[in-house]
Chain A
Amino acid sequence: MKIRKAERLEFTSTDKNSFFRQLRLSLQSLRWRMTLSYSLVTVAALLVVELIVMVLLLNYFISTIDMTPENLITNLRVEWIPQVQQYFSEDPPDVEGVRAYLEDVKGSAIRSQPLFILGDLQLEMKAQDFLNFYYLLDDRTLVDAVPHDIVSEEELDTRISFDYLPGLEEPLKAALSGVEDQNLLYETVEPGNRITGAVPVFRFEPRNFDSLDLEANEPVMDVERKLVGVIVFTTKRFPWEYIPIGEMMVYIGRSLLIFTFFAGIFGSIFGMITASNLTKRLSRLSQAAHDWSRGDFSVSIQKTKDDEIGQLARDLNKMADQLESLLDRRQEISVLEERNRLARDLHDSVKQQAFAASAQLAAAKTHFEHDPDEAFFHLQEAEQLIEKVRQELTALIKEMRPIEMKGKGLLPAVEDFVNDWKRRNPMNLQAQIQGKHSLPLEIEKGVFRIIQEALANISWHSQAENVKLMIDFQPDFLSLVIKDDGKGFLLSESSKSTLGLQSMHERAVLIGGELVINSQPGQGTEIILTVPYRMMEI
């Protein structure tokens, strides 16, 4: 963890692209990714909602168009026929007048009906949007059509046949014969349920000159009517042929933009709030785990909610508790082992020497009266033994002292320890250090402690002449080799706890490394510790 931080610091100071790197890193963070995905989801959801609304509105729009033939014909009679009646009524019919009139009204709503108003969208339904009109004289001469481009210029002023449009024959004949019954004036044509019909245009001539023209629309008995033309109509086939698709697309496109904009803002805010809550909780977990990894188990994760993260927090807390008690237990064991080892060391050396010294003193006492020379010799022996006892006790006490590494770092601490060890031991110790790599404090402590134990073992048990200590910082891992040419031992035979081998192994595992011990009687001993750096960063 510390390593990674250090590397990142190095990056920022050296890399010119560090700003973009930082930006990319922060955009890759969980928080931003969640915000982005929330925004996208919100936008997508709103788009779907809008599309559904549009479809529903269109459906409503289509279904509200009143397309019954009776209605169509009534409307034509009320609104369209009076407009052209005057041109047809002249003798001869004012064909140019009709055309000029139709040209004039083509672009405007002949009969408009606002269907729905949504924002600034106002769909206007014009009659020519869903109907085609053909204006005929009473002899079937085609005068004009609305929209104008459904007929070719050659067809104008020519007579059209009765089967000019499918289903036209019966209604046209009826209209030409002056029938006014609506039911005879249209025909339903498949496919598409289209309606084709014809409506006669009459000129009314008052039979009685006293009656008023105002009453012309009324079927009045004393008014003579004369057929002057026919308006043929046919419905367009599909809804999209008469729905103003272009207008709607513009509206949909514009509202999509607005929707997307607001959805983006809304989604971002929502996403940021949710994500920051989540990342805050996660970073609390990671902070606690970080503290644990440094051995501080006083921290525990506050459980907030009973969701998956809460569950994870609970499990982590439980794990930390178990880990703590495990570590405590391990520490107890290692303290006991240490004490045992010291006791054995004391028994093997100091106690025997003390016993021998007292025996020498006893011998001196016995000789004291009769043979002072002999007594003096034994006193000298005893003195030497006691001096040895003093030396060994000093060494043991030094070894028992707690590790002093504060602020020194691994290498200076090892150097000090090695120098001190050389002063206390007659063996030739060579220390080599290659490479450089900063390590977390816990790892340095572990490595240092292993070096201490290995050298203490060599000092007490190996009877070696030469000792080699090599620390090599490889690119991916730290390698420590401690080798002696002493008497060695049989691994299977040796009581592991006696030599502190077990605790060395445990220390190695605790710092994520591996410890291998090679030894044969008479062949010396080799201790190899490897600690991969990547384990330290987790």
Chain B
Amino acid sequence: MISRRITVLLVDDHEVVRQGLRAYLDAQPDLVVVGEASSGDEAVEAATEFLPDVMLLDLVMSGMGGVEAARRVKSFTPRTQIVVLTSYHQDEFIFLQCKRVLYRIY
């Protein structure tokens, strides 16, 4: 049990959202939130530090955008699964960008 809890990295520029997500994810027995990041740069930094199993990523952030952050993280830890949190699911452009970087779209 100890070794196979899924490590999660939270990336969102709104603190309330991170708090909410952490509250929910921490309540799940098989998940553990290992870190938080509020921007693309922080996300890349945290991902290199924690090498999480899953990265929950908000696409729209100031500085480096979510798509670019995802690309970089994928490049050095391909094992990390990236789950994109976005309300732009109807936006063709962002969808295509994500498709190019990620393997799976939820």
Mark each residue of chain A from 358 to 398: 1 if its CB lies under 8 Å from any CB of chain B, else 0: 11101110110000001000100100010000000000000
**Chain A hits for B87, CB < 8 A:** 347, 351
- Contact between A363 and B24, CB atoms less than 8 A apart: yes
B19, B23, B26, B28 interface centre (most CB from chain A within 10 Å): B23
- Contact between B28 and A381, CB atoms less than 8 A apart: no
**Chain A hits for B24, CB < 8 A:** 359-360, 362-363, 366
With CB as the reference atom, state the residue of chain B lying closest to A382: B20
Contact for B17 among A356, A362, A367, CB less than 8 A? A356
**Chain A hits for B21, CB < 8 A:** 356, 359
Q: Does B16 contact A (CB under 8 A)?
A: yes
A356-B27 contact, Cβ under 8 Å, with A347-B87, A351-B87, A381-B19:
no
Q: Does A260 contact B (CB under 8 A)?
A: no
Rounded to whole Å, the gap between the CB of B24 and the closest CB of chain A is 4
Mark each residue of chain B from 1 to 40: 1 if its CB lies under 8 Å from any CB of chain A, else 0: 0000000000000101101110110111000000000000
Interface size on A, residues (CB 8 A): 19
Rounded to whole Å, the gap between the CB of A374 and the closest CB of chain B is 8
Contact for B23 among A347, A352, A355, A359, CB less than 8 A? A359
Rounded to whole Å, the gap between the CB of B1 and the closest CB of chain A is 16
- Contact between A366 and B19, CB atoms less than 8 A apart: no
Q: Does A451 contact B (CB under 8 A)?
A: no
CA distance A352 to B61 in the complex (A): 13
- Contact between B17 and A360, CB atoms less than 8 A apart: no
**Chain A hits for B28, CB < 8 A:** 366
Q: How many contacts between A and B, using CB within 8 angstroms? A: 45
- Contact between A385 and B16, CB atoms less than 8 A apart: yes
**Chain B hits for A374, CB < 8 A:** 27
Rounded to whole Å, the gap between the CB of A372 and the closest CB of chain B is 13
Q: Does A357 contact B (CB under 8 A)?
A: yes
With CB as the reference atom, state the residue of chain B lying closest to A353: B16
A378-B16 contact, Cβ under 8 Å, with A347-B87, A351-B87, A366-B28:
no
Rounded to whole Å, the gap between the CB of A357 and the closest CB of chain B is 7
**Chain A hits for B27, CB < 8 A:** 362-363, 366-367, 374, 378
A352-B26 contact, Cβ under 8 Å, with A357-B20, A358-B20, A360-B20:
no
With CB as the reference atom, state the residue of chain B lying closest to A349: B14
With CB as the reference atom, state the residue of chain A lying closest to B13: A352
Known: A362-B24, A363-B26, A366-B27. 6 other contacts (CB 8 A): A352-B14, A356-B14, A356-B19, A359-B23, A363-B20, A378-B27
Q: Which B residues are closer than 8 A to A by beta carbons?
A: 14, 16-17, 19-21, 23-24, 26-28, 87
Give 9 nearest A-B pairs by CB, closest first. A359-B20, A356-B20, A366-B27, A363-B23, A356-B16, A363-B24, A352-B14, A359-B24, A362-B24
